[in-house]
Amino acid sequence: MPEREQRSSEPAAEVDQYNGYANYPTWAVHLWLANTEDTYYEARDLLADAGEPQQGAQDLKAWIEGQNPIEVPSMFAELMAWALQAVDWDEVARALGPQEWESPTPATPGTDPIIS
C-alpha cells in the first residue's frame, strides 16, 4: 500500500486567497449575502445595529450559522461546519457594514501629501 502524502493540517480555505478575499468560504458568504436584495439589506441592518465591526462580525456569524439547514450529523454537516469556521467574518462585516468600517487602503507613496 503506498504511503499517504503528508499535508498541512491547515485547511486550504485558510491558506489561499480567493477573488480578493481571505479564502473561498469568505468570498462565498459575501457573494450570497450581497447577491440578493433581501439578504443584503438584512445583513446591512444587522451590522448597523451592531455598532462596531467586531460585534457585527460576531452577530453576522451567529445569524448565518443559525440558518444552516444541515441538522443531522453527517459528512456534509462536518464540511459545512469547517467551511463556516474558515470564513473571515470580520472581512465580510467590513465589506457589508457601514462605510466607516471599511478597512483602510494603504496609501501609495507619492499620492498622499503626508507620505512621500
Domain boundaries, the chain: 16-100
pLDDT level of residue 16 (50, 70, 90 thresholds): confident
> Over the stretch 59-99, which tens digit does the pLDDT of each residue have?
999 999 999 999 999 999 999 999 999 999 999 999 999 98
pLDDT level of residue 19 (50, 70, 90 thresholds): very high
pTM: 0.75
pLDDT attached to residue 7: 44
pLDDT attached to residue 102: 81
pLDDT level of residue 101 (50, 70, 90 thresholds): confident
In residues, how long is the chain? 116
pLDDT attached to residue 21: 96
